[in-house]
Amino acid sequence: MRVAVFSTQPYDQRFLDAANAAGRHVFTYLPARLEASTVATADGHDAVCAFVNDRLDADVLAALRSRGIRLVVLRCAGFNHVDLAAAASLGLAVGRVPEYSPHAVAEHTVALVLALNRKIHRAYARVREGNFALDGLLGFDLHGRTVGVVGTGKIGLCFVRIMRGFGCEVLAHDPAPDPVCEAAGARYVPLAELLARSDIISLHCPLTPQTHHLIDAAALSRMKRGAMLVNTSRGAVVDTRAVIAALKSGALGSLGIDVYEEEADLFFRDLSAEVLRDDVFARLLTFPNVVVTGHQAFFTHDALAAIAAATVANLDAFETTGQPRHPVSVDRLA
Ligand code: NAI
């Protein structure tokens, strides 16, 4: 198939070329994000390959379809950015990578927890300045602390197992409780109890209409004073303005995020020579007790190889059966 690969970074090209070594598909690598203004670059292709911040709303999908595109393959697990109902009514198939390395994301989440707790970001800067004072770097033992995990799918389960390894009590919340997760040592509780009892809260649910701003001012007010919040799921699960207010008042003890509501205009690019125009994001960066990474939780060698392999498998399957190997259908929204 001829595939227009949007939002291409050099590493995407390397891993996709390796997965496509047999040369069954022809990839056109496009650094631009897929959106209304770039959709014309998909001309002459059968499929588009998109990433997390590409825009796949009804208008873009209709424009793709009218240009002969029959398949959208996502290089990610989340599909909140795709209008699946529009895709279905246009007869556009959508495939994704349902699982590439839940370990990659869970391990990065733990990196954020440890960095925030032991102030590694501050210690790193201090030591390089010749400042070996410890005041201000005080952390706490994870052992014996209570960790709340919201969403116990593939990534949440990995995170539960790691935190149990630290000797934490793990509370979980998920509309679809998983006996495997319970066997791993998590105890399912209502969200209100999880918020009230956890020292660390980590979000691993998808972004849906139900989880949009799940962590808002009301949820934050139910948390333990000084609790840590970590979000490696999707930015809009958290109301960033409410979180900033909670950080300012001291109600929220620390925040680690790999995702941000308005990340599409920021992440995956080098903006170091430009003025930051997003005042909310700029405010977040001023807190000593906030660590932000730019949507890199997935970014391991193992995960990129698995993403590329699943993407090629989606294309192969579509060619032979008319459906991607891992289809996303409109009923996933239910
Ligand atoms: P998954 O589909 O295996 O698990 C999601 C879980 O969330 C399911 O068990 C589901 O029942 C649960 N859930 C749904 N609504 C919920 C709610 N209202 N409250 C609590 N739980 C709810 O997904 P997976 O693979 O574990 O990924 C989780 C999320 O992580 C993805 O949707 C994606 O947004 C994000 N992600 C982030 C990456 C990064 O690089 N930062 C990389 C990959 C995924």
> What Cα–Cα distance (Å) separates residue 161 from each residue in 18, 154, 156, 173, 313?
32, 11, 9, 15, 30
> What Cα–Cα distance (Å) separates residue 266 from each residue in 6, 33, 49, 52, 171?
16, 12, 20, 13, 33
pLDDT band at 78 (very low <50, low <70, confident <90, very high): confident
Q: Which of 77, 52, 24, 51 is nearest to 205 (CA)?
A: 77
Q: Whose CA is nearest to atom 11 of ligand 1?
A: 176
Residue 333 has pLDDT above 60, yes or no: no
Domains annotated for the chain, with CATH where assigned, are: 2-100+301-333 (3.40.50.720), 102-292 (3.40.50.720)
Q: Which helix (H) or strand (E) holds 48?
A: strand 47-50
Residue 331 has pLDDT above 80, yes or no: no
In this structure, what token pair is assigned to residue 72?
């959208």
Whether the CB-CB separation of 90 and 61 falls below 8 Å is answered with yes
Q: Whose CA is nearest to atom 42 of ligand 1?
A: 298
In this structure, what token pair is assigned to residue 199?
């020292």
Catalytic-residue membership of 295: yes
Q: What is the mean pLDDT of the chain?
A: 96
Query: What pLDDT does residue 334 have?
Result: 38
Catalytic-residue membership of 164: no
- For ligand 1, which residues put their CB under 6 angstroms from it? 77-78, 102, 105, 150-156, 173-176, 204-207, 210-211, 232-234, 258-259, 295, 297-298
Q: Which of 79, 188, 205, 257 to mutate for ligand 1's pocket (most ligand atoms within 8 Å of CB)? A: 205
Residue 186 has pLDDT above 80, yes or no: yes
